[in-house]
Amino acid sequence: MNPDTHGTHSKIALITGGSRGLGRNTAIALARRGVDVILTYHANHAEADAAVAEIQALGRQAVALQLDAGKVASFGDFTGQVRDALKRQWQREQFDYLINNAGTGHHAPFAQTTEAHFDALCNVHFKGVYFLTQALLPLIHDGGRIVNISSGLARFSMPGASAYAAMKGAIEVLTRYLAKELGPRGIAVNTVAPGAIATDFNGGTVRDNPEVNRMVAANTALGRAGLPDDIGPMIASLLDDANRWVTGQRIEASGGMFL
């Protein structure tokens, strides 16, 4: 990662949902590569502060901002907060990398998925990503990068994930359109699709339920469930200048699940 692309300034990444799980792991992986971080959190301020402290301990700058990633009406104010943070912390007007990571899970059979559940998932995983990216576009450097987080569930089907997976499928199509439309600005846009990862996502099922963990391992080419450290460093490496020619792609990091 070249920290000097914009003069003598380090690169800055904005990661939604960066206070926990894969977002936090990505933030730490980027900090280890010399990237500063703006992370968002939904409600747990203490967790966000701890993530900021961990990044600062690695010698990088970090700021935590509150964001409800499904509340489109708040995005104008949030963009103003990002602009203020850039000016205050970095004396900059733009950042380099946007990682649309924030999200929640929902597991229910198709026949039992309610409109309320569907709308909540859509607001965070699709509508929110669409309009947050739109709001932040003026603050992203030409030549910057966007990574949208999808899921292995957009490729293979597991009962109970129809609504969640459909949103991720929409994100994968959106990624290709963004890559095409933002190409003239030199902005590369890609999708990273994790497989089943042992985190607190969806109540920590993969991490804490031995039967689910064994099932995942048995259906994964590399023979185990994924770990956060399998994903964060991979996203960080995708943002490296060595991958500048990769855009409009869906890259699955699942250890070869359901091949």
119: domain CATH number?
3.40.50.720
Q: Tell me the helix, strand and coil percentages in the chain, rounded to 5.
A: 50, 20, 30
Q: Which amino acid is at 222?
A: L
When divided into structural domains, the chain yields a total of 1
223 found inside a domain: no
What pLDDT sits at residue 204?
Answer: 64
113 found inside a domain: yes
The parent domain of residue 177 ranges over: 12-194+231-252
**Alpha-helical runs (H) found in the chain:** 21-32, 45-57, 75-85, 115-122, 128-136, 162-182, 205-208, 210-218, 232-238
**Contact, 196 vs 226, CB < 8 A?**
yes
Beta bridge partners of 145: 97, 188
**Contact, 111 vs 159, CB < 8 A?**
no
**Cα separation of 255 and 90, whole Å?**
38
Q: Which of 41, 97, 164, 177 is catalytic?
A: 164
Instruction: State which residues of the chain have pLDDT below 70.
Output: 1-8, 199-205
Active site residue 164: yes
**Cα separation of 7 and 24, whole Å?**
27
69 found inside a domain: yes
What pLDDT sits at residue 9?
Answer: 80
Q: Which amino acid is at 60?
A: R
3-44 residue pLDDT tens:
434 445 899 999 999 999 999 999 999 999 999 999 999 999
What pLDDT sits at residue 6?
Answer: 43
Q: Which residues contact 154 (CB under 8 A, 6 or more apart)?
A: 165, 168, 169, 171, 172, 193
3 found inside a domain: no
What pLDDT sits at residue 193?
Answer: 97
214 found inside a domain: no
What pLDDT sits at residue 184?
Answer: 98
2 found inside a domain: no
**Contact, 254 vs 193, CB < 8 A?**
yes
